[in-house]
Amino acid sequence: MGTATSRTGFTTQALLDLESAAASFMGTEAAVHLPSGYMGAAAVLASMAQRFDVIFADEASHYAVFDAAAASGKPIHRFGHCDADHLTALLRQHLRHGQRPLVITDGVFALLGDIAPVDRYIAALADCPAAAVYVDDAHGLGVLGDRGRGTLEHHGLGAANRLDSDWAGNVSLWHSATLSKALGGYGGVIAGSEGFVEMVGRSSDLVRGASPLPPMLLAGSTEALRLVRNESGVRTQLHVNVRQVKRGLAAMGLTVDQSPVPIVSVATGDGPGMQRIQQRLLERDIAIAYFGAYSGSKPGGSLRIAVFADHTTEQIDELLSALRAVL
């Protein structure tokens, strides 16, 4: 069953239900759903293009973020990965009087698993009138923060029930996320104040022109949001599993941060060597990804372990002992 038309022509109840569930999950006044998370950055930056003049981007940001930045036609300066001091230096160097900066970043980096220091970026923008920060929180939603609202909540920025300019004094906060990662649903979501969401819905051709997902996929995402919201044991178990994996890897001498992010990157040796490790684990029915080239990857690429809430203690022990044998 398809949707037959863009949402401008007809809006299904399933779509409205999902948008209302997303707003309630994120603690915002409203939300708009997109057929993919990749489209979120493009929709936000295109809609808000009149509100910024110069872009400052974390150099390891996802393709979706850089594509959106390039489409805006505004100048782009790249700062070091998660480096707020470098951002401050670039702001001093490149921002002319009266220009409005936009800082863009992933919330949680797809490959590296790092959490963007959004609070430090806001502090770096304190002296800039009319600054904005855009966070693509594809990998933060459903994982970080007390209620799983993502990177902004992790940094204590998630308590307010509005996004946009009320959040951080002179700094507007815009974000989008995907339901396709931790939630196991599908599609992107942009959440915020009524005014912000209305603005994006009204001015983004992506929102107006793309066919929404078929109702059964939308309903699946709505149910996923309900589940993660009401059954907090799922996220608690995820964090228990993440701790077990990360402590195990640290005990093997690997440098691993101890954040609750369920993505662990291991870069060891060269690309073919890592592909051999991936193959040897697969022979033991353990599937981990190898990314040769991806946004944020180092030369040679990286193995990437994704931890799930329903992995058992025994399965994680098995992963760790297999890694001990092959690394």
Ligand X SMILES: Cc1ncc(COP(=O)(O)O)c(C=O)c1O
Q: Which residues contact 232 (CB under 8 A, 6 or more apart)?
A: none
Nearest distance, CB of residue 218 and ligand X, angstroms: 14
Nearer to ligand X, 170 or 294 (CB): 294
In the complex, least distance from residue 284 CB atom to ligand X, rounded to whole angstroms: 26
Smaller CB distance to ligand X: residue 33 or 62?
A: 62
Shortest spacing between CB 135 and ligand X, in angstroms: 9
Residues that bind ligand X (CB under 6 A): 36-38, 62, 64, 106, 110, 136, 138-139, 178, 180, 188
Sign of CA dihedral 29, 33, 37, 38: negative
Structure-token match 């949001």, residue found:
225
Beta carbon of residue 246, minimum distance to ligand X (angstroms, whole number): 20
Please say which residue, 80 or 195, places its beta carbon nearer to ligand X: 80
Q: Are 239 and 194 in contact (CB under 8 A)?
A: no
Q: Please give the angle made by the CA atoms of 305, 307 and 312, to the nearest 5 degrees.
A: 125
Q: Is 99 exposed, middle or buried (0-12, 13-18, 19+ CB in 10 A)?
A: middle
Min dist. Cβ of residue 29 to ligand X (A)? 23
Min separation Cβ 133 and ligand X, Å: 15
Give the whole-angstrom CA distance, residue 290 versus residue 302: 6
Q: Which is nearer to ligand X, 33 or 235 (CB)?
A: 33
Q: Which residue has the tokens 């398809």?
A: 2
DSSP per position, 296-326: TPPTT-EEEEE--TT--HHHHHHHHHHHHHH
95 or 103, CB closer to ligand X? 103
Which one, 19 or 106, has the nearer CB to ligand X? 106
321 Ramachandran zone, left/alpha/beta (phi>0; psi -120 to 50): alpha
